[in-house]
Amino acid sequence: MNEFGTILVVGGTGKTGRGIVRRLRAAGRPVRSAARAGGDVHFDLVDPTTWAPALDGVTAVYLVAPNPVLTPEGVSSIQRFVSEAAAVGARRMVMLSGIGLRVADDSHPFKIVEEAVRTSGVEWTFLRPTWFSQNFGEGIWLRSVLDGALHLPCGNGLVSFIDAEDISDVAVAALTEDGHNGQIYELTGPRAIGFEEALGLIGKATGRTIRYIDLTPEAYLERLIDQGMPPGMARRNQALRVAIRDGLDGSGALTDGVQRVLGRPPRTFEEYVAQTAATGRWLG
């Protein structure tokens, strides 16, 4: 597909989406950022009334399905969105899912959405990254890093953290270049580390002590519920973390996905830490 209309970036203000939008605009590509707030258009995967303005003139889509949307009703809505995107002229779709799908059964929400994309008639590429390095600096673990202690039930489990900037680079290649149709790219960093080492690297770069507190799965679940998380969501959250501990989800795998697409190795966690520490974000 050498000629493009507009490229729609779902989740265009998120960790990977904003990097994709920035790169596409720098390259002079027509791009539309779609998000619940802050994008070029208001967009919600579970609100079909927001789809038509987002899809107008679109020929390629970057699809992100955030975890809170992955209820049975949400998955059904995403399936309908995929069908509508194909029907109105989208010819290529790049979907962000997760490396854990290598061991998930067919009932996993991401697998159901992937199948909808795969059978929609568009060119497709699936990106399956491991955990983002950015989770320490702007996401789910930032508050804990600032407080000086991260409580997780991950034991000594290892994670090959991937820089979201690498994911954005890969996504742009898949959206704009030929040769990626039908490909599944598992995206990891260049080495796997534990949470204690990760926090130690952040502490060294900031001059702070940041502890990793290893919890039992039961204690972690109780902690989440005490913090107000709905029990069902808390149990899913617990299972994801315990899978890291037990090495069941592929989080510690090392793959050549970034190298295959970009012709260079992935960024290291140390590089991410140095860049983020320089912003002062971890100093509160």
pLDDT digits (tens, 9 = 90+) for 32-82: 999 999 999 999 999 999 999 999 999 999 999 877 677 888 899 999 999
Q: Is the pLDDT of residue 210 over 50?
A: yes
- Residue 20 pLDDT exceeds 90: yes
Question: How far, in Å, are 122, 176, 236 from residue 77 at the CA level?
Answer: 18, 27, 21
pLDDT > 90 in the chain, percent: 84
The confidence score (pLDDT) of residue 106 equals 83
Same domain, 233 and 135: yes
Running DSSP on this structure, what letter comes out for residue 4? -
- Between CA 164 and CA 15 the distance in angstroms is 6
Same-domain pairing of 32 and 113? yes
Residue 141 buriedness (CB in 10 A; 0-12 / 13-18 / 19+): buried
Paired residues of 35 in beta bridges: 42
pLDDT tens per residue, range 176-204? 999 999 999 999 999 999 999 999 999 99
Q: Higher pLDDT residue, 74 or 225? A: 225
Cα-only R_g, the chain: 19
Measured CA to CA, the distance from residue 270 to residue 284 in angstroms comes to 20
| Residue, of 155 and 106, whose pLDDT is higher | 155
Distance CA 272, CA 7 (A): 28
Q: Is the pLDDT confidence value at 85 over 90?
A: yes
Q: Are residues 10 and 115 in the same domain?
A: yes
Contact 58, 30 (CB under 8 A): no
Residues 55 and 192 in one domain: no
User: Is the residue at 171 inside a domain?
Assistant: no
CATH of the domain at 227: 3.90.25.10
Q: What are phi and psi of 89, to 5 degrees?
A: 125, 0
Query: Would 179 be classed as within a structural domain?
Result: no
Residue 212 and residue 122 share a domain? no
3-class SS at 261? Answer: helix
Separation CA 217–CA 240 (nearest Å): 11
Asked whether residue 216 carries a pLDDT value surpassing 50, the answer given is yes
Mean pLDDT of the chain: 94
pLDDT of residue 2: 45
Q: What's 71's domain CATH number?
A: 3.40.50.720
Compute how many other C-beta atoms are within 10 angstroms of the C-beta atom of residue 25: 12
* Domain total in the chain: 2
Residues 138 and 120 in one domain: no
Which helix (DSSP H) or strand (DSSP E) does residue 29 occupy? none
Give per-residue burial for 149-175: e unless 16+ CB within 10 Å, then b.
Answer: ebbbbbbebbbbbbbbbbbbbbbbbbb
Instruction: Quote the strand ranges of the chain, DSSP E.
Output: 6-10, 31-35, 41-42, 58-64, 92-96, 123-129, 149-152, 183-187, 211-214
176 within a domain of the structure (yes/no): no
Based on the domain organization, do 77 and 145 belong to the same domain?
Answer: no
The pLDDT of residue 69 is 72
| pTM given for the model | 0.94
Of 125, 145, 240, 119, the residue nearest 186 (C-alpha): 125
With a cut of 80, say whether residue 236 has pLDDT above it.
yes
**pLDDT the model gives residue 139:** 82
CA distance 276 to 48: 37
- The residue from 87, 107, 129 where one domain ends is 129
Backbone angles phi, psi at 6, to 5 degrees: -75, 140
